[in-house]
Amino acid sequence: MPVRIVETMPFDDQRPGTSGLRKKVAVFRQKHYLENFVQSIFDSIAAPPGSALVLGGDGRYYNRDAIRIIVGMAAANGFSRVIVGMGGILSTPAASLLIRKRGAFGGIILSASHNPGGPEGDFGIKYNSGNGGPAPEKLTEAIFAKSRSISQYRILDGVTIDPDKIGETILGNMVVEVIDPVSDYAELMESLFDFELMRNLLQGDFSICFDAMHAVTGPYAREILENRLGAKPGSVVNAIPLADFGGGHPDPNLTYAEDLVKVMYGGNSPDFGAASDGDGDRNMILGRHFFVTPSDSLAVIAANAHLVPGYREGLSGVARSMPTSGAVDRVAKSLNIPLFETPTGWKFFGNLMDAGRVTLCGEESFGTGSSHVREKDGLWAVLFWLNLIAAKRMSVEAILKEHWKQFGRNFYSRHDYENLPLEAGKDVIETVRARFPDLAGSILGKYRVDFCDDFSYLDPIDGSLSVGQGLRIIFTDGSRIVYRLSGTGTEGATLRIYLESFEMDSARHGLDAQDALLDLISISREISRLEEKTGRVTPTVIT
Ligand code: VG1
Ligand code: CO
C-alpha cells in the first residue's frame, strides 16, 4: 500500500481547549480538517520509529471514520503498532491505562466528553502522552502552532481494518491490534478494591442504579458491576453506547442525568445511584434522596482512603482544581499531607502524580481520580464509594453527615450560563476584573473581601507558568466567588460562576446549598453586572 503525501492548507481554529480540540461534527468533516490536526500531533511529538500508539473513542458519531483515517496516518508516519479498542471504543481512563500498560509512546482519544453527539453534535480529539495523561500545555500549544503552518500530511491509502474483530492485522509496516477494551481495566479495578466485600454488599439487599447514559461506560459497568460484583441484572441502565447517546446530553449532573435523579428521589429508590459521562471519566454519586457534590466526594474519598486496599498505605498528597471547594483541604490538613491547587483541567495533575507528590485528584466538575491512571475515572469513583459503603456499613447520606460533623461543610455550587454571545462572555470577565481595585477590602453584606486575583499556577515539577486561569474573589471567612469561561464548549461562550461558603455548625449542615449561598449568588451577579451584560437572570445549569 502506497503512502500518499497530501497537499493541504492550514485551518486557523485548531487550538486545543481545556481537554483537546472540540468542534461540531460538521467542522471535523471538512476536507483535511481531522488529517491536518492528526499530522500536527505526529509532527509535534516526533515519535521514534517503532513506536506504538493507543487509539479509541467514546463511540460517538464519526468515531469509526476517524479511527480509519488515523490508523492510515499512523502507518504512514512510522508507527509500528496501533492498539485499538474493539469497535473503536475505549473509555478515557481505559485508554490512559493501556498507554501505560503497553508502554505506548502515546494515545489518541476521540471524544467530546459530555457534549452531545450525532451528526449535529460535537466531536473531539486529544493526544495523551506516554504517562497516559493529557498532553501538557506546552505540547498542545506546539500542536496548535504546527496546525497553523501545515502544508502536507501523510496517509496510507485503502485502509480496510475491521475494528470489530479482536486480533492483529498487518498494514504496511505496521500492526493493527484490536483488543477487548474492558478486560485490562476490569483487572486493574479488581487489584484496587475489595471485590469480595463489595460482592457481599451487592448480592445482599443493597440496590444500585448506574446510568451509563448510552455512552462509553456501559460495557465497563456491566462487566464490573453486574458480572464480576453480582449486582442484580438491570442495575446498569442505558448500557449500550450509541452514536448520538440516544439524543441525550451525556453529562452526569442534576440537570442532564434527570432520569437517574428521578429514580433516586422517587419512592422505593435504590440505595445508591451513579452516572458517568460520554467518555467515562466523570462520575455523579447519589444516595437515596441525596446528592454528593463532587468536591465533597473528593474529600470523603481522601478521608477514608485507608479503608480501600489499593490505598491502605495512605496518600502521598491530594490535588484539586482551583474552583473545586476547599473541603478536601481540611482533610489533607488533618492527614498531614500536602494539598495542591491547580488550574482547571486534568492535564495539570499529571506532573504531580508522575513525581509521586499526589495520589488523589479531583475537580468540582464531576471528575475524581487517582494515580492508578493519568485521567479522571468515573467508574473508579463509583467503585470507591461502593467499597467505602461496604466497609463502613453506612448509607451515602450518613457518610456525608458524619464527614461534615468532623470537618465542617463547604456549601458549594456552580452556576453555568451556556451559549452566551462570545463578546458577552468576555465582557462579564472584564467587568469583574475592572472592579478588582475597588473590591479589595470592601464589605459586601456580611462578607468582607480579603483579596481578588486572576489565578495563575507555577508547576512545582517543571516550572511552567499558566496564567489567566479564572478570577477569584476571596472573602475573609474563606468564602469564594470564582468566574471562568469554559474551554470545552463549541457554541458561543459558557460562563461559569463558582460559589462557596464554609459552615462548621452542624445545626446548619442540613440547609439546601442554594439557600445557604443566596447572598453570595446575588453578590456574584451584582459584581459582574450579569443581567445588564448578558440579559440572563437564571443559569442554564446549576450543579
Ligand atoms: C470542563 C470542566 C473541567 C474539566 C473539563 C474536561 O472544562 O469544568 O473541570 O476538566 O471540562 O472534562 P471547562 O473549560 O468547560 O470548564 V471532560 O469530562 O470533557 O474531559
Ligand atoms: Co469526560
Q: Is 363's C-beta closer than 6 angstroms to any atom of ligand 1?
A: yes
Nearest bound ligand to CA 347? Answer: 1
Q: Is 488's C-beta closer than 6 angstroms to any atom of ligand 1?
A: yes
Cα(487) to ligand 1 centroid in Å equals 7
Residue indicated by cell numbers 475494528: 163
Mapped onto helix, strand or coil, the DSSP state of residue 262 is helix
The DSSP symbol for 203 reads H
113, 235, 370, 479: the catalytic one is 113
CA distance 24 to 115: 10
Helix (H) or strand (E) holding 71: helix 63-76
Half-sphere exposure of 298 (CA within 13 A, CB side): 32
Cα(398) to ligand 2 centroid in Å equals 29
Question: Low-confidence residues of the chain, pLDDT below 50?
Answer: none
Residue ID of nearest Cα to ligand 1 atom 19: 113
> Is 113 tagged catalytic?
yes
Helix (H) or strand (E) holding 318: strand 318-321
What's the Cα-to-Cα distance from 232 to each of 194, 222, 291, 324, rounded to whole Å? 19, 10, 23, 34
Half-sphere exposure of 112 (CA within 13 A, CB side): 27
Task: Tell me the whole-structure pTM to 2 decimals.
Answer: 0.94
User: Can you give the pLDDT at residue 281?
Assistant: 97
The type of residue at 391 is A
The DSSP symbol for 432 reads H
Atom of ligand 1 nearest to the CA of 124: 19
Q: At a CB cut-off of 8 Å and minimum separation 6, what does 88 contact?
A: 55, 56, 57, 59, 63, 64, 67, 110, 163
Q: Is 345's C-beta closer than 6 angstroms to any atom of ligand 1?
A: yes
Cα(136) to ligand 1 centroid in Å equals 15
Q: Is 346's C-beta closer than 6 angstroms to any atom of ligand 1?
A: yes
Q: Is 367's C-beta closer than 6 angstroms to any atom of ligand 1?
A: yes
From 488, 490, 543, give the residue whose CB has the most ligand 1 atoms within 8 Å, as the site to mutate: 488
Q: Is 543's C-beta closer than 6 angstroms to any atom of ligand 1?
A: no
Residue ID of nearest Cα to ligand 1 atom 13: 486
CA distance 24 to 64: 16
- Grid cell for residue 171: 498494514
Q: Is 277's C-beta closer than 6 angstroms to any atom of ligand 1?
A: yes
Nearest bound ligand to CA 215? Answer: 2
Pairing of strands 272-276, 208-211: parallel
What's the Cα-to-Cα distance from 210 to each of 134, 232, 270, 379, rounded to whole Å? 27, 11, 10, 10
309 and 470 Cβ atoms separated by less than 8 Å: no
Cα(162) to ligand 1 centroid in Å equals 32
Cα(132) to ligand 1 centroid in Å equals 18
Pairing of strands 360-363, 236-237: unpaired
What's the Cα-to-Cα distance from 543 to each of 191, 366, 414, rounded to whole Å? 33, 10, 5
Residue indicated by cell numbers 517503532: 50
CA distance 320 to 339: 8
Half-sphere exposure of 478 (CA within 13 A, CB side): 14
From 365, 375, 380, give the residue whose CB has the most ligand 1 atoms within 8 Å, as the site to mutate: 365
Cα(19) to ligand 1 centroid in Å equals 7
Cα(365) to ligand 1 centroid in Å equals 7
Q: Cα 307 to the chain's mean position, in Å?
A: 25
Burial 136-163 (b: 16+ CB within 10 A, else e): bbebbebbbebbeebeebbbbeebebeb
Cα(456) to ligand 2 centroid in Å equals 24
- Grid cell for residue 489: 464548549
Residue ID of nearest Cα to ligand 1 atom 18: 113
Q: Is 20's C-beta closer than 6 angstroms to any atom of ligand 1?
A: no
- Grid cell for residue 198: 463489595
CA distance 212 to 114: 12
User: Can you give the pLDDT at residue 163?
Assistant: 87
Residue ID of nearest Cα to ligand 1 atom 3: 345
Q: Is 296's C-beta closer than 6 angstroms to any atom of ligand 1?
A: no
Helix (H) or strand (E) holding 386: helix 378-392
- Grid cell for residue 333: 490538613
Atom of ligand 1 nearest to the CA of 18: 14
Residue ID of nearest Cα to ligand 1 atom 1: 488
Atom of ligand 1 nearest to the CA of 282: 18
Strands (DSSP E) found in 224-282: 236-237, 272-276
Beta bridge partners of 22: 124
Cα(279) to ligand 2 centroid in Å equals 5
CA distance 271 to 389: 10
Helix (H) or strand (E) holding 107: strand 106-110
What's the Cα-to-Cα distance from 128 to each of 132, 139, 146, 247, rounded to whole Å? 6, 10, 17, 28
User: Can you give the pLDDT at residue 537?
Assistant: 87
Residue ID of nearest Cα to ligand 1 atom 17: 113
User: Can you give the pLDDT at residue 452?
Assistant: 94
Structural domains present in the chain: 3-181 (3.40.120.10), 185-407 (3.40.120.10), 409-542 (3.30.310.50)
Q: At a CB cut-off of 8 Å and minimum separation 6, what does 85 contact?
A: 55, 56, 94, 95, 178, 179, 181
For 241-288, the pLDDT digits (tens) are 999 999 888 999 998 999 999 999 999 999 999 999 999 999 999 999
CA distance 94 to 426: 36
CA distance 38 to 31: 13
Beta bridge partners of 541: 416
Atom of ligand 1 nearest to the CA of 279: 18
Cα(471) to ligand 1 centroid in Å equals 17
Q: Choose among 189, 1, 233, 216: nearest CA to 89.
A: 216
Residue ID of nearest Cα to ligand 1 atom 2: 365
Q: Is 486's C-beta closer than 6 angstroms to any atom of ligand 1?
A: yes
Q: Is 414's C-beta closer than 6 angstroms to any atom of ligand 1?
A: no
- Grid cell for residue 280: 467515562
Q: Is 113's C-beta closer than 6 angstroms to any atom of ligand 1?
A: yes
Atom of ligand 1 nearest to the CA of 489: 15
